[in-house]
């Protein structure tokens, strides 16, 4: 299982992923990695030997991880009522898999969100994100499941169901 912390820091999303991680899983953070934006050159349409002309952590590490792991768990904080920029950039960089969807066969993408307001207050924003991912899963990810929303700003103490949510996620990912 590949766990991707898309937060701009190693705090809430990182802690959640670390708490659901098994020993043989790989947990990576993108905030401290070299990550360029998609150039829109579409070179990946024809040439899949190198996937992408960009030379960065996504090309050299994430694509390989995505290809080897069948379960990919993504965690993002809500930023301005949506996913944050790192996750959007990661999705844009999935263009090679859009052009060669067979590479994504048998893979499932899971999503976890965090935010400073309660799940109830954020309901509309969370549903917008889920619908966006459901749309993506029709032609990009193929299989998608939303796992959970956690409430917290600088820590997850506000989320009184934290331990229960972690256990439920672990069960689902077995």
| Contacting residues toward ligand FMN, per CB under 6 A | 7, 9, 11-13, 77-81, 114-117, 122, 152-153
Cβ closest to ligand FMN, residue 11 vs residue 107 = 11
- DSSP string for 45-74: GT--SSS-S--SHIIIIIHHHHHH-SEEEE
Could you tell me the smallest distance in angstroms from the CB atom of residue 100 to ligand FMN? Answer: 31
CB of 81 to ligand FMN, least distance (A): 4
Please state, as a whole number, how many other Cβ atoms lie within 10 Å of the Cβ of residue 33.
Answer: 14
Nearer to ligand FMN, 31 or 60 (CB): 31
81 Rama sector, left if φ>0, alpha if ψ -120 to 50, beta otherwise = left
Closest approach of ligand FMN to the CB of residue 91, in Å: 18
In angstroms, give the least distance from the CB of 80 to ligand FMN: 5
For residue 41, how many other CB atoms are within 10 A of its CB?
A: 11
If the CB atoms of residues 78 and 91 are measured against ligand FMN, the closer one turns out to be 78
């Amino acid at each position: 299982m590949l766990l991707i912390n898309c937060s701009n820091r190693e705090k809430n999303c990182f802690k959640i992923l670390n708490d659901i991680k098994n020993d043989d899983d790989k947990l990576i953070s993108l905030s401290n990695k070299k990550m360029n934006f998609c150039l829109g050159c579409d070179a990946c349409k024809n040439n899949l030997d190198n996937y992408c002309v960009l030379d960065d952590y996504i090309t050299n590490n994430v694509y390989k991880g995505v290809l080897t792991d069948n379960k990919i768990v993504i965690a993002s904080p809500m930023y301005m009522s949506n996913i944050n920029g790192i996750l959007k950039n990661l999705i844009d960089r999935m263009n090679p898999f859009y052009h060669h969807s067979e590479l994504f066969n048998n893979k499932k993408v899971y999503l976890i969100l965090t935010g400073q307001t309660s799940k109830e207050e954020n309901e509309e924003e969370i549903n917008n994100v889920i619908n966006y991912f459901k749309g993506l899963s029709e032609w990009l990810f193929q299989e998608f499941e939303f796992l959970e929303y956690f409430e917290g700003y600088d820590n997850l103490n506000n989320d009184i169901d934290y331990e229960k949510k972690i256990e439920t996620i672990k069960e689902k990912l077995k």
